[in-house]
Amino acid sequence: MADTDIGLPNQLRLIRPAIFAYFQAVGEKGEKAKEFQEVLKIVEEQGLGDQKFFASDNTIGSVDIAFGMLAYWLECIEKVVGVKILEASNLPRSHACAQNFKQVPVVNDNLHDGGKLLAHYKHSKEKLILAEIVFFHTDY
């Protein structure tokens, strides 16, 4: 079994630490973004393949819901961090899957306005930056 052939549930477990590292990065945003993209590339290649959704070409399943919500959060996080992750140019199938997911009527009808989520992530990022300044740039 190849190192990247780790099965979809394990691939999805890789996303959480990668997204937190990307969000928390202050001076190394580009490096953390690249690492996160590599994790998503593995998920794209081994989990999504050539299908429209993870479950099938016509139906969303639980993995689609998890990935779709990640993509929804990621739009706000990308705005806060200032580095795009899920672009059609570097992750074409994942990007298309996320866009297709948001167009499913039951999903589209129930997505909330991202304004509150964006405000939450901006506030969280400000606190992280402040904590880094206090922790790493204070003489004790």
Residue 3 maps to a domain: no
Q: Measure CA 124 to chain center.
A: 16
| Residue 121 in domain | yes
> Residue 1 falls within a domain, yes or no?
no
Q: What is the mean predicted confidence (pLDDT) over 71-95?
A: 87
pTM of the model: 0.71
Residue-level pLDDT at 82 = 84
Least confident range from 10-14, 18-22, 122-126: namely 10-14
* Residue 76 is assigned to a structural domain of this protein: yes
pLDDT at 48: 85
Q: pLDDT over 70 for what percent of the chain?
A: 75
Domain residues for the domain of 113 are 8-136
Q: What is the CATH number of the domain that holds 58?
A: 1.20.1050.10
**Choice between 29 and 85, residue whose per-residue pLDDT is larger:** 85
Q: Is the pLDDT of residue 6 over 60?
A: no
Q: How many CA atoms lie within 13 A of 13 on its CB side?
A: 5
- Distance separating alpha carbons of residues 17 and 13, to the nearest angstrom: 8
Whether 2 is in a domain gets the answer no
48 lies in a domain? yes
Look at 20 and 53; give whichever has higher pLDDT: 53
